[in-house]
Amino acid sequence: MDTPFPFEPVLVFGIMAIMLLVGMTLRARIKFFQNFLIPSCFIGGTIGLILISTGLIDVSVDLLETFAYHLFIISFISLSLTAGIKRNADDSFKSLIRGPLWIGLVSGVVMAMQGIVGGLIVFFLNATGFNLNPLFGFLSPLGFTQGPGQALSVGKVWEEFGFANAATLGLSFAVFGFAFAFFVGVPLVNWGIRKGYAAQTPRALPLEILRGIMQKDTKREAAGELTTHSGNIDTLAFHAALVGLVYILTYLLVLAIGKFISVEVAKSLWAFFFFFAVVIALLVKALIGRIGIDYLLDAGVQKRITGWAVDFLIVATIMAIQLVIIWAYIVPILLIGLVSGIFTTLVVFYLGRRTWGYSLERMMGMYGIATGTATTGLLLLRIADPEFETPVALELGIQAIFASPFVLSYMLLMHAPLWWGWSVQAVLAVYAGAMILSFVLLKLFRLIGPRRF
């Protein structure tokens, strides 16, 4: 039957919503998911992937990838528009600098290491008869440290350069990273708690954290405050409109820049859309403050938009994975994923045990970032610090300031073979130098020392 309007995008969104609700229900009822704190979006996305792969539902993979890409950008814009983070009175300036700097420098070590591991494994596999794209190994740090959104966006750009199925392959490494976060990270933090390494000596996690929903009689946290009158414009609509404004400005900027550079580099700009979006969002927020209407921004409401985007982003990215393609590359995916995950665990464990304080908390927050997203880091941190009484939660919120130079530099290096004709070996050599430099800076700034446990 013909419909008066295109329904497919909304139907795909509805299916993602159903999967999210299914994941939420299963998390609330099944102990296995509670024990490993598997979020509803991961559960729902996995179920959706199974239903698509078995033919029980028919969903456009292209639309899922489109949703994931735009939700990824929305989450970064919303995060950048969020009002300033409130700090506790006992959070010293020194702590607010040292902690995020440690996370940023460790990200510099870990992401370079993941790229080196992936690149070397691809080099040796190709020497034994495989015919993998030389960039294949660089999907590992994109999936592990940068998360599904960035793996997808860069993968789609690389497909334009002839790297077939790069987006799906990148998503597979993102899922691999989440698996390490939940099935290695959760037991690891519980081990640290049992050994007495947690600063707050947390009790058993409350039911609302385990089940993922608030209990009937539990005191509820406010989602945000109204800053506009609903008779004029709803507060949520106002904050969403700001996200839309930044999106349009970023789109126009990227189009304009593309007219003054080569076609190859212009194509790659869409993989860096998130970076331009963050810059524009920060400028818009600064302008709002300059003209004196920053009181209209509410951090609580903006966080809800960010959280909404991330939840649906993860559902979409997992559902967009095409298992037929994954099976065709199962050997390199398993080999690179397992080795990257193991090395990431060892490196973060080594460096985390040598921080100056809150070692378990910082280690687990960093491990979540290195295997998923900042949200994953907060999830692991919350096991050791349920009430976020340590300064580590705040450090995770502002660590991107110190991690961004490494992230952006490493992403530029990944594109060097496409833009400037670099060999993969040259990129790996620069990665090795950057990894060593990051470690030296950790020592120079006295951010690592003797073992704490």
The predicted-structure confidence for 41-76, as pLDDT tens digits, reads as follows: 999 999 999 999 999 999 999 999 999 999 999 998
pLDDT of residue 87: 54
For 135, the domain range is 8-84+93-202+231-444
pLDDT of residue 374: 81
| CA distances from residue 425 to 54, 115, 134, 162, 344 in whole angstroms, order as listed | 40, 11, 10, 20, 21
Q: What values do phi and psi take at 42, rounded to 5?
A: -70, -45
Q: Are 314 and 373 in contact (CB under 8 A)?
A: no
Confirm whether 304 is domain-assigned. Answer: yes
Q: How many domains does the chain have?
A: 1
Confirm whether 450 is domain-assigned. Answer: no
Confirm whether 334 is domain-assigned. Answer: yes
Confirm whether 28 is domain-assigned. Answer: yes
Q: Which amino acid is at 145?
A: T
Confirm whether 218 is domain-assigned. Answer: no
User: How far is 166 from 169, CA to CA, in rounded Å?
Assistant: 5
Confirm whether 273 is domain-assigned. Answer: yes
* Chain Cα centroid distance, residue 246: 20
Which residues of the chain are under the pLDDT cut of 70? 1, 83-95, 201-203
pTM score, two decimals? 0.87
User: How far is 201 from 219, CA to CA, in rounded Å?
Assistant: 23
Write 440-447 long-range contacts (CB < 8 A, 24+): 441/105, 441/108, 442/102, 442/105, 442/106, 442/109, 442/351, 445/98, 445/101, 445/105, 446/356, 447/98, 447/101, 447/102, 447/105, 447/355, 447/356
| CA distances from residue 146 to 60, 134, 141, 223, 229 in whole angstroms, order as listed | 25, 20, 7, 27, 38
Confirm whether 214 is domain-assigned. Answer: no
pLDDT of residue 384: 87
pLDDT of residue 220: 81
Confirm whether 396 is domain-assigned. Answer: yes
Q: Which amino acid is at 177?
A: G
Ramachandran category for residue 421: left, alpha or beta (phi over 0 → left; psi -120 to 50 → alpha): left
Question: Measured in Å, how far apart are the chain's first and last C-alpha atoms?
Answer: 66
